[in-house]
Structures are given as C-alpha cells and as structure tokens.
Amino acid sequence: MKIYTRTGDDGTTSLFSGGRVPKHHLRVESYGTVDELNSTLGLARTMALSPQGDADLARIQHQLFNLGADLATPLDAPTSYVVRMDAESVTWLESRIDAMTDSLPPLKSFILPGGSPASATIHIARTVCRRAERLVVMLAENEPIGDHVLPYINRLSDTLFTLARAENAAAGVADVIWAPRG
C-alpha cells in the first residue's frame, strides 16, 4: 500500500464518512490536535515512567485513536465501524484520577510544569489536550458531536495533570511549586 494518494494535493482531505473537507476545517484541526496529543504521549512513554504510568498512557493512546476516529466521522455518517467515545472511557479516567490522587500528597498550591523529564513531557501533553479541547468545543458549537467526546477530553487533561504529579512522586522528584512573586 502506498502512503501517498495525491488526493490531498488540492488542499482537501477525506473524512471517514467519505466526504471531503478543506484541510483547515475545524473537524480536521480537532482530530489533528488529538493526533498531536497522542504523539506527545508516545514521546512521554519513551521516558522512565512507572509501570502503572506507562500502562495508563498506553491505554489512553488507544482511546485517543478512537477519539480521533470519532471526530473524523460526522454523527450522521452512515458508518457502523467507527468506535465512538463512551461513558466507560470517561469513568475509567475518573477512576485513575481518584486512585492517583489518593496516593499523592494533597495539593496546597499551584505547581509549575517540570520535575522529572517524564512529568514535564506529560505536562506538555496536558497543554496540547487543552488546546484540542478548545477546538472540539468550537466544533461542537458548529456541528453535532458525540455525547462523550467533550467529557472525555476534559477529564483527560485532569488525568494528565494528576499523572504528571504521580510520575514525579514515583521518580522521587518534588513537584515544582509556583512562587507568586517568583
């Protein structure tokens, strides 16, 4: 199979539903940013993560592929093969946040991205996640999207924040506390 198709040379791309849209379409920006997030998590997984952190990121990467497919397929598209985001994925993220939070010292101040290389990279992923969320919100204002897309991506940024803290703890590195008068 060839990687290039030449069909995008006119500045358009195909959606899973078969339709074509400009490459700058908000739907493409949304799932493209989810792809960027997934790549950033792939980078984080090359770092010295805890076994649980690596397992969590591996599962999230698979979920992000589902999210990208969901975003690349309009709700009214006649497809049966697209995996849509579901409540179970959101609930799993919430359970991971709760489990990690229970094992971490209480958060008493803002923290800065940093600490261990793995934590810092997860913080970068968190900011990419927030950008993807902003794009998906704009998309949802213009087109219908799945019921669980926004809750998932919102909960994911919280999961990544908590995971960055957990990875610092696992590495024996303190979170970087924000000094307001720095």
Nearest to 47 by CA among 96, 120, 127: 120
- Comparison of pLDDT for 180 and 40, the residue scoring more: 40
Backbone torsions φ then ψ of 50, nearest 5 degrees: -70, 155
Q: What is the pLDDT of residues 140-176, one digit of tens each?
A: 999 999 999 999 999 999 999 999 999 999 999 999 8
Q: pLDDT > 90: what percent of the chain?
A: 71
Task: Decide which of 1.20.1200.10, 3.40.50.300, 3.40.50.970, 1.20.210.10 is the CATH code for 28-74+83-177.
Answer: 1.20.1200.10
* Mean pLDDT of the 72-82 span: 80
Question: What is the pLDDT averaged over residues 60-66?
Answer: 97
Render pLDDT for 122-147 as a digit per residue (tens, 0 to 9): 999 999 999 999 999 999 999 999 99
- The model's pTM is 0.91
Candidates 47, 43, 4, 30; CA nearest to 168 is 47
